[in-house]
């Protein structure tokens, strides 16, 4: 992974986008409706010129299933970063990149302080290791930003498929964050990385709040 890129332009066109960066390239999973009107390929390739674009033809059984549509590109030993598009974060991406190279963890969850049950959450021990994650259940104040790092893409593929095979759903969907429980059950090392601030953009109310309050 050479750098972390914020997909502000994707948010601007109202795209629901999951991005999986693997080894310096990117694989973009884009909802089919984007084809109507938005010049998605031009926008995305202006951000990452060698990106692979996969059109999602229909509704999947959850975000984990959607990301696995890029399995042929991410099932390798390259680092993998998966990001939702419905947030704006204030953070030091250079420091995060440093952390991915220094702490030798198998995964990192970007988090912020919050206790609203609409988020995912990570519980940590005294050594700052993640011991459990939960979707839509407040188990700590470490709320997930919606950006997930894996030291190997193949690990994500393995454990997400394992979670799906166990039929471990939340609200009848396969979410991404709970995949880390499969890592933890296999004694993998998962850490959190606290960011300065996260602005949710997933609903009209969230977006209006951001527009009215950002940098006031």
Q: Tell me the per-residue pLDDT of 21-75, one tens digit each, with 9 for 90 and over.
A: 444 444 444 443 333 334 666 766 776 677 777 878 788 999 999 999 999 999 9
Q: What is the pLDDT of residue 39?
A: 61
Q: What is the pLDDT of residue 87?
A: 86
Q: Which residue has the tokens 């990117």?
A: 26
Of 107, 108, 139, the C-alpha closest to 122 is 139
Task: Tell me whether residue 80 is in a domain.
Answer: yes
How many domains does the structure of the chain reveal?
Answer: 1
Count of CA atoms in the C-beta half-sphere (13 A) of 164: 19
Task: Tell me whether residue 89 is in a domain.
Answer: yes
Q: Containing domain of residue 88, as a range? A: 8-213
CATH number at residue 151: 3.90.550.10
**Which carries the bigger pLDDT value, residue 1 or residue 40?**
40
pTM beyond cutoff 0.85: no
- What is the Cα gyration radius of the chain? 16
Tens digits of residue pLDDT in 156-207: 999 999 999 999 999 999 999 999 999 999 999 999 999 989 998 888 888 8
Task: Tell me whether residue 2 is in a domain.
Answer: no
Measured over the CA atoms of residue 49, residue 160, residue 90 and residue 38, the dihedral's sign is positive
Task: Tell me whether residue 202 is in a domain.
Answer: yes
Task: Tell me whether residue 3 is in a domain.
Answer: no
Does residue 15 have a pLDDT over 60?
no
Q: What is the pLDDT of residue 8?
A: 34
Task: Tell me whether residue 154 is in a domain.
Answer: yes
Task: Tell me whether residue 1 is in a domain.
Answer: no
């Amino acid at each position: 992974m050479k750098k972390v890129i914020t997909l502000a332009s994707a948010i601007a066109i109202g795209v629901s986008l999951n991005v999986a960066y693997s080894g310096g390239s990117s694989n973009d999973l884009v909802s089919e409706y984007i084809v109507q009107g938005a010049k998605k390929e031009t926008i995305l390739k202006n951000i990452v010129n060698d990106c692979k674009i996969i059109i999602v033809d229909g509704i999947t059984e959850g975000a984990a299933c959607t990301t696995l549509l890029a399995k042929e590109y991410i099932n390798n030993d390259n680092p993998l970063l998966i990001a939702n598009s419905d947030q704006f974060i204030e953070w030091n991406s250079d420091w995060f990149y440093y952390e991915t190279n220094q702490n030798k963890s198998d995964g990192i969850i970007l988090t912020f302080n919050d206790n609203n049950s609409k988020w995912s959450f990570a519980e940590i021990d005294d050594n700052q290791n993640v011991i459990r994650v939960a979707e839509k259940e407040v188990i700590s104040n470490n709320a997930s930003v919606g950006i997930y790092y894996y030291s190997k893409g193949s690990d994500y593929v393995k454990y997400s498929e394992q979670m799906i095979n166990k039929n471990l759903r939340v609200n009848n969907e396969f979410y991404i964050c709970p995949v880390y429980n499969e890592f933890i059950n296999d004694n993998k090392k998962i850490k959190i990385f606290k960011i300065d601030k996260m602005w949710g953009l997933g609903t009209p109310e969230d977006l209006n709040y951001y527009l009215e309050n950002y940098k006031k």
